[in-house]
């Protein structure tokens, strides 16, 4: 069986990862914007059921965004599946709850599902972020083509709150791109041994596809008033120069 790498939670290590994620996003983007259809059903300390977020996977930045949302917005205990080869290369992500999955080895992938199912059931306020596409694809790709790992996990973990999350990257009126994150309505999922894996996978894919298409329409029509800015990123060069010239004029 392929190597399995568990999470190794570390308070200071996670703070370092969080700082690295925020700083990298600040340096690479104009803004990160967030909207949720509704708040969590209860505060994290009183949330009896685990929370699972699932989203499209269209960029290298998605794991950073997942960590920011889970910690900064929701303050949940984070876990995230990460490809075993990448986690072996960047083992410090284990401090922030990353654990390995090897989708090229079916038995190893099931071991990862069993591991995280146990972790999610061990305390309140625990969460998992998963990318059911399994690898990075362009954000306009349709169909999304989910793997069945998420459905297997739901069958194993039992009752949970499941949230579809849409990520979208856009160049708008700035030098740097903007990111839009939209968390959909919670699905209070009742797992169980009779779960139809194929039908569940197709239904979850359908829900996220609809949310991604709706987010694309909102961005293209500039219907963004209900998004909040969770990271203010880099200022465009033209704005910086305009401010500098205005300052020089006032001091001349």
Q: What is the pTM of this model?
A: 0.92
Residue at 6 is within a domain? no
- The pLDDT tens digits of the residues spanning 64-75 come to 999 999 999 999
Residue at 86 is within a domain? yes
Exposed e or buried b for every residue in 167-205, given b needs 16+ CB within 10 A?
bbbbeeebebbbbbbbbbebbebebeeeeeeeebbeebb
Residue at 3 is within a domain? no
Domain that holds residue 198: 11-251
**pLDDT above 60 for 91:** yes
Residue at 4 is within a domain? no
- The pLDDT tens digits of the residues spanning 103-126 come to 888 788 889 999 999 999 998 999
- At residue 247, the pLDDT reads 65
> How many distinct structural domains can be found in the chain?
1
Residue at 90 is within a domain? yes
Q: What is the mean pLDDT of the chain?
A: 92
Residue at 2 is within a domain? no
**Residue 211 belongs to domain with CATH number:** 3.40.1130
């Amino acid at each position: 069986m392929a190597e399995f790498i568990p999470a190794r939670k570390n308070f200071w290590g996670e703070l370092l990862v969080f700082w690295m994620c925020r700083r990298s996003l600040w340096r690479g983007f104009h803004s990160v914007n967030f909207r949720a259809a509704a708040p969590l059903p209860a505060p994290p300390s009183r949330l009896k059921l685990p929370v699972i977020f699932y989203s499209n996977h269209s960029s290298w930045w998605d794991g950073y965004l997942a960590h920011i949302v889970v910690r900064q917005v929701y303050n949940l205990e984070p876990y995230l599946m990460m490809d075993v080869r990448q986690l072996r290369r960047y083992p410090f992500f284990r401090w922030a709850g990353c654990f390995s999955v090897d989708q090229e080895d079916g038995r190893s992938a099931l071991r990862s599902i069993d591991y995280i199912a146990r972790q999610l059931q061990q305390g309140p306020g625990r969460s998992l972020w998963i990318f059911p596409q399994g690898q990075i694809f362009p954000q306009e790709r349709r169909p999304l083509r989910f793997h069945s790992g998420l459905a297997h996990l739901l069958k194993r973990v039992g009752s949970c709150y499941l949230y579809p999350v849409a990520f979208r990257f856009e160049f708008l009126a700035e030098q740097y791109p903007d990111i839009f994150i939209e968390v959909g309505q919670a699905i209070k999922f009742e797992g169980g041994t009779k779960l139809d894996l194929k039908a569940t996978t197709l239904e979850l894919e359908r829900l996220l596809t609809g949310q991604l298409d709706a987010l694309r329409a909102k961005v293209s029509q500039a219907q963004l008033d209900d998004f909040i800015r969770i990271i203010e990123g880099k200022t465009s060069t033209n704005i910086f120069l305009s401010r500098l010239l205005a300052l020089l004029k006032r001091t001349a």
